[in-house]
Structure 1
């Protein structure tokens, strides 16, 4: 059976085809970051102003919608330009394993809920009960519809499109793992959290990238990463917000703690404690083996009879 990165060879893998989508996306990210620094923009103040003017739910829609649209553009590009099936972009299995997606989603969603409730009961002064039924129900509809599209775009771009493309061209597993993980972290550098918490938060973003990349390579598919990422953002949006985060939502709780004080618990412990535990759980459930080769081995171009070269 062809492994996950080898699925790229099922399509047309011309270099120019792989460079245009990432170049456009990263170009916009770089221009945004340069504009913030050169113009000395206060992103926290800008977000607060937009939220006050438009409301939290409308602001959330405007934040998520471009990435949701990006998902459909990326999938269409893969299907019609690369001539590759969405299934082979998603997994090395004959079909997408939805059980894996749901297991990862509910596992992390449950853990996130428990941790949030524990935080509320152990340190109630750090939280404000923010629940308001009607805005929350509207939030729930928006989040359920758009958050999985937003997170799926990021997964398909980084752990799917770039992981397969870079792996196929470099014949390496380690190069796409490191490149996509670091770039995934840097993508968040303009978020207001970075300014509020400090540069240590980049450990969380880059660490999350490595966690998702390891998960994808070891499991030979995107399913677990898709489920985890959707749960992380969806439950986060519904459960808790703060004035200094990129997601401003009418969630159940609002954190009023000093972000620098809560940074260790919220951002560092997950990378070095929770993520290794999750990898252990997944490895036992799905019987992962041969870690060294799957993470650092070479990628062999499969025999031509196993795939169709279109150019």
Structure 2
């Protein structure tokens, strides 16, 4: 079982606390800073000074480095293998990561093409070969690290840690999903569309959390999240998103949070969970999502 992976590790509660406490303080500080300044204007100003590619680089590098630091903390401080933080399987299942990446990348491309051809007036061609391929090289390296950090932090480190402390599966699912959504509260999309967009972010957190608990590992969530951010950043940009990049297309329409929130959370994500459940033969949904965790070895907990 995925959460139980830490039962035979050197888990110490006081060593577990620094990362969630630090991240919580960072989230609060980030929210307070964003409430005092216009995030969208700040991004535009940075782009005017550094350009899109360098702005992207400096905005994403901290999270990419944080991924490496989190792995180091888990390995050195907790003496826990990265494999056990990733999956309950004997080794990381790369076929799961690639399947999930390919599935969501394909769906994302198809949906983007449908929207583009149905409403071409909402888009302009933004493709510039030189800047695009530089951005592509940066994105392929940095975005998977950024998305992996978020998955390892929320669906890995926090999911396992909260599960150990509470002996519950439902509690870490609820906490990590809500925290994941609130982490995006300082994004310019929230300022542009309103707090209703948090339904999408929190809904995505629940989707990824359910996927992780049902599949007993992070592989599917890692693949989905990487495809979501990478393909999205390469295909479409706009003047009001967190990632303003040298993408192929630029969305020039006026943003609104309605159908774009409802469709993924209440239609697409349930369909994807059904596809995953059929492919990987998920069973015992109630037990895996809401059951009590029992540890045979309670040493160090």
TM-score (norm 2): 0.98
Unmatched 5+ stretches in structure 2: none
- Please tell me whether residue 80 in structure 1 is matched to residue 73 in structure 2: no
Equivalent position of 1:228 in the other structure: 224
Offset of 1:227 from its aligned partner? 0.2
Preserved contact between residue 127 and residue 257 of structure 1 (Cα < 8 Å): yes
**C-alpha distance in structure 1 between counterparts of 2:296 and 2:94, whole Å:** 27
Decide which of 128, 131, 135 is 2:131's aligned counterpart.
135
Preserved contact between residue 6 and residue 302 of structure 1 (Cα < 8 Å): no
Q: How does 1:1-311 map to 2 (within 5 A)?
A: 3-37=1-35, 40-260=36-256, 263-303=257-297, 309=299
**C-alpha distance in structure 2 between counterparts of 1:302 and 1:223, whole Å:** 26
**C-alpha distance in structure 2 between counterparts of 1:191 and 1:218, whole Å:** 30
Offset of 1:11 from its aligned partner? 1.7
Unmatched 5+ stretches in structure 1: none
Offset of 1:17 from its aligned partner? 1.3
Offset of 1:217 from its aligned partner? 0.1
With 27-36 and 282-291 compared, the bigger mean Cα shift is at 27-36
**C-alpha distance in structure 2 between counterparts of 1:115 and 1:266, whole Å:** 11
**Which runs of structure 1 show a deviation greater than 2 angstroms over 4 or more consecutive aligned residues?**
263-268
TM-score (norm 1): 0.95
**C-alpha distance in structure 1 between counterparts of 2:64 and 2:113, whole Å:** 30
**C-alpha distance in structure 2 between counterparts of 1:255 and 1:21, whole Å:** 37
Offset of 1:303 from its aligned partner? 4.3
With 12-21 and 228-237 compared, the bigger mean Cα shift is at 12-21
**C-alpha distance in structure 2 between counterparts of 1:249 and 1:72, whole Å:** 24
CA displacement, residues 264-311 of structure 1 (integer Å, 9 cap, x when unaligned): 23332101111001000000000000000000000111347xxxx568
For these two proteins, the number of residue pairs brought into alignment is: 301
RMSD: 1.1
